[in-house]
Amino acid sequence: MVPRKKKYETGEAAAFLTRKQAMAKLQLNLKDFRRLCILKGVFPREPKNRRRAQKGNASTVKTLYLEKDIRFLLHEPIVWKFRDFKVFLKKLKKAQEKKNWGQAKRLQSNKPKYSLDHIVRERYPTFVDAIRDLEDCLCLCFLYSTFPRTNKTPVEMVELCRRLTVEFMHYVIEARALRKVFCSIKGYYFQADVKGQTVTWIVPHNFGYRAPAQVDMRLMSVFTEFYTTMLGFVNFRLFNSMNLTYPPKLQGLQMTGTSQGKNKGEGEGEGSTRVQEEERVFALNQSLHRTVLPEETVEMDNIPITDDNASMEAARKEAEAVEAQTKLFKGLKFFLGREVPREPLVFMIRSMGGEVSWDATVAPGSTYQESDERITHHIADRNQIPDKKLGRFYVQPQWIFDSINRRSKLNEKHYAIGETLPPHLSPFIADRRVGDYVPPEEKNLAEQDNAEKQDNEADEGENEEESEEDEEEGEEESEEGEGEEESGEEEEESGEEKENEAEEVKVGTKEKVDRKAEKQLQETEEYRLREMMVPRKHRGLYKSMMKNRKRRINESKNLERKREKWDKDNTPQPKKAKKAKL
């Protein structure tokens, strides 16, 4: 007879193992087990039915792992290295207790080590996979690179992180990949476009290190250990893809004993982090030696891939804007005051093609003096500067952040020294929907943009009228953007018409007004027709959309009214209004 199956032998109960069971199966202690799980990317799982998964006992929530995952871990050769290390520790302890210092030293120098290459390869089968998961990696590496030398953050790891992050920043600079920046109270957010993937990371403000009590540093170190290996290989591939040699030879960033010795002599804590940071900036401000200088600009193909003209047009515009952004500071020379945070600014300026330097007495790596007459922008963060030089703009650091986000050089006047700065808006918020509240500051910026564009167009005679048209069209566009897709075509048509108009205008202006009104009439008619053509299936959705839009418009109007009132109440002197805020 077939023996009867007992309870909890199949199904969900058999699919999960508790942590204790998993450890027993792998014959590892907790420390090694956690390390292995982190390195291999095995995470605890939540079962669908906890009572069944915990074999009937659900009084406490246990950490469960998939049995399949644990079986997968059994194959890992690194497990043997863990066991070797355990043996090594025993030997070392014995030697130390017996005061066999010679033996202890010999053992120390031959610590068993393991390589994580194959795990990186296994977890990220393709290069793009690795880049997709780069955000965590970058955040941790940038964070660790700012750490002082403590026993929980080993020197070697910190230095490796420092090297790798500087190399990555060099890649971003060379590839002109930086897209968005944001200075928050937490740290600097950067967003770059790496091989078509959007990668965001945080860099902490340069301040003293304070370990939060809740964080398990040992765990974070294991993550960092894995991510350093990953970032190294990613860097290699990124550099190679740009015809750059890897590792780059950078002064001030040597992974040899010399710099270590020097730093150690200067003492622990604040002082050494300062030194670290300076060296990093020094390394960042050097241009790499390229084997080939690709100076060609790639022309966008004009082949329509899809029928969707509007999206094509949008993509083209976006590409142009990015192109313009990458050359934002080209040919400009910046000089940083000593009170300005050097690292992020150097990174940003160089990513946009600018040159940068600082006072040679502040930190090593300055390339030109303050007296250099070619300097176009002097960045300072104090209320006044005693001897200003002619021929250069004196701006506050926020000018750089905002310019990059707006993708154009903003008016330096608003960011001059001593001026109350306009607010630093986040570039990460999604595009506003129609009717959403737009703060007046942002409105001003948008208006400035429009105005500049018009200047560039430089069609003086009909500038104003056209701009009016533009605005109107823009509004309509955005209105229709949500519901319809035809608007794009229409826009193109209207664009052609505009050109025709321009030719015809020379003949006479009288007719023009009529045409405009006609066109508007026609458009509204078309819009109504399209509204009618909405299939019955989608009518409900359309109606709710419109209703929501109306609600948003009402809300934003309300907010605007509030703001106006507040502005009226709280601005006796327009200049100091910002500081008196609330």
Contact in structure between 437 and 555 (CB atoms under 8 Å): yes
Q: Is 547 in the site for another protein (CB under 8 A)?
A: no
Burial category of 144 from C-beta neighbours within 10 Å (exposed 0-12, middle 13-18, buried 19 and up): buried
Show the CA angle centred on residue 242, arms to residues 236 and 244, nearest 5°.
65
Q: How far is the CB of 510 from another protein (least distance, A)?
A: 46
If the CB atoms of residues 201 and 487 are measured against another protein, the closer one turns out to be 201
How far apart CA 171 and CA 235 sit, in angstroms, is 8
Q: Is 255 in the site for another protein (CB under 8 A)?
A: yes
Q: Which two tokens stand for residue 571?
A: 């601005």
Phi-psi category of residue 412: left, alpha or beta, with phi > 0 → left and psi -120 to 50 → alpha: alpha
How far apart CA 560 and CA 571 sit, in angstroms, is 16
Count of alpha carbons within 13 angstroms of residue 105, beta-carbon side: 3
Q: Tokens 């200003």 — which residue?
A: 388
Q: Tokens 């074999």 — which residue?
A: 55
Using CB under 8 A, pick the residue from 89, 211, 321, 385 that binds another protein: 211
Q: How far is the CB of 269 from another protein (least distance, A)?
A: 17
Contact in structure between 412 and 399 (CB atoms under 8 Å): yes
Residues 118-137 that bind another protein (CB under 8 A): 118, 120-127, 130, 133, 135-136
Residues 460-499 that bind another protein (CB under 8 A): none
How far apart CA 201 and CA 190 sit, in angstroms, is 5
Among 230, 251, 245, 232, CA closest to 174: 245
Q: Is 537 in the site for another protein (CB under 8 A)?
A: no
Residues 21-50 that bind another protein (CB under 8 A): 38, 41, 43-46
If the CB atoms of residues 95 and 310 are measured against another protein, the closer one turns out to be 95
Q: Is 362 in the site for another protein (CB under 8 A)?
A: no
Q: How far is the CB of 210 from another protein (least distance, A)?
A: 7
Residues 51-110 that bind another protein (CB under 8 A): 60-64, 69, 71-72, 75, 77-78, 80, 109-110
How far apart CA 329 and CA 291 sit, in angstroms, is 24
Using CB under 8 A, pick the residue from 340, 346, 352, 356 that binds another protein: 340
How far apart CA 37 and CA 253 sit, in angstroms, is 33
Using CB under 8 A, pick the residue from 26, 28, 104, 140 that binds another protein: 140
Residues 151-180 that bind another protein (CB under 8 A): 154, 156-157, 160
Number of residues lying near another protein (CB under 8 A):
111
88-92, Cβ contacts within 8 angstroms, sequence gap of 24 or more: 88/112
Q: What are the φ/ψ torsions at residue 487 (nearest 5 degrees)?
A: -55, -35
If the CB atoms of residues 101 and 369 are measured against another protein, the closer one turns out to be 101
Q: Is 215 in the site for another protein (CB under 8 A)?
A: yes
The site map against another protein for 391-430 (x = CB under 8 A) is -----xxx---------------------xx-xxxx-xx-
Q: Is 205 in the site for another protein (CB under 8 A)?
A: yes
Residues 557-576 that bind another protein (CB under 8 A): 559, 563, 566
Residues 435-464 that bind another protein (CB under 8 A): 437, 439, 441-442
Q: Is 540 in the site for another protein (CB under 8 A)?
A: no
